[in-house]
Amino acid sequence: MPYSDLPFADRHPDDAALAWFGRPVFQLVEQPALRFAAWEREGHGGVVDVLGATYYLADERGEFAEHAETDTLSIGLRLRGLVFTEVPGATRIPTLAAEHGALVQHLTQVVTNDRIGQAEFAPLFASEEWLAELDSWRLELRALEPQPAQLEVDARRVLGIRLVYGGYTGTTVAVDGRIVTLVLHDEEARRVDARLVTRPD
């Protein structure tokens, strides 16, 4: 089958990381506005214990403009958001329960990565002032009180917790032996179907 005819999720395989991590792994339901981009991996001691699903977002016309970039294929804008699946205990923040710690960690990560590219913060990157900003964001997020929330996972409504910060909303649930966190920018959440499904084999 030609590369261009492959389902987009199959164009960026990370079979080793997925096999090491095991099942289940969660992702957004297939939908016209999104195409799968790649898996982000996090771990400790050489063990992958967090996987993040990233996506491309269609333009306002609902189109994807595919073009080659070196050895990869880019089809436009990255979705400002991720779906994180983690092994319980992978995120360790003292004084916070596992789900709360995962929510704070992943929301901080996405907000920080977004702000790195903003004109206000880009000149500060890696400076002492930047590190102070990071610390202040982490402290602000830890001080917020999570609100009850739900995510739909494999057609089930799963209870969890939610935080809103920096133009993003993060929701975390415990399901099927995993901790799952969906982080989406509030503007793009209006265009995205936020239902989650188990990644098929």
- Could you tell me if 70 and 161 are in contact, meaning their C-beta atoms sit under 8 angstroms apart? no
- Alpha-carbon span 131 to 133, nearest angstrom: 5
- Could you tell me if 81 and 188 are in contact, meaning their C-beta atoms sit under 8 angstroms apart? yes
- Alpha-carbon span 41 to 49, nearest angstrom: 8
Confidence of residue 114 (pLDDT cuts 50, 70, 90): confident
Residues with Cβ within 8 Å of residue 77, at least 6 apart in sequence: 56, 57, 59
- Could you tell me if 198 and 182 are in contact, meaning their C-beta atoms sit under 8 angstroms apart? no
What's the length of the chain?
201
Residue ranges covered by each domain of the chain? 3-198
81-96 pLDDT, tens per residue? 999 999 888 877 877 8
Is residue 189 classed as helix, strand or coil in its secondary structure?
Answer: helix
Task: Give percent helix, percent strand, percent coil of the chain, each to the nearest 5.
Answer: 25, 35, 35
Which position has the token pair 């409504």? 157
- DSSP string covering 68-109, please? EETTEEE-SPBPSEEEEEE-TTSS--TTS-HHHHHHHHHHHH
pLDDT at 68: 41
- Angle between the 98-116 and 128-143 helix axes, to the nearest 10 degrees? 140
**Considering the entire predicted model, what is its pTM?**
0.82
Query: Mean pLDDT for the chain?
Result: 81
Which amino acid is it at 141? L
139-193 pLDDT, tens per residue? 888 889 999 999 999 999 999 999 999 899 999 999 999 999 999 999 999 999 9
Which amino acid is it at 198? T
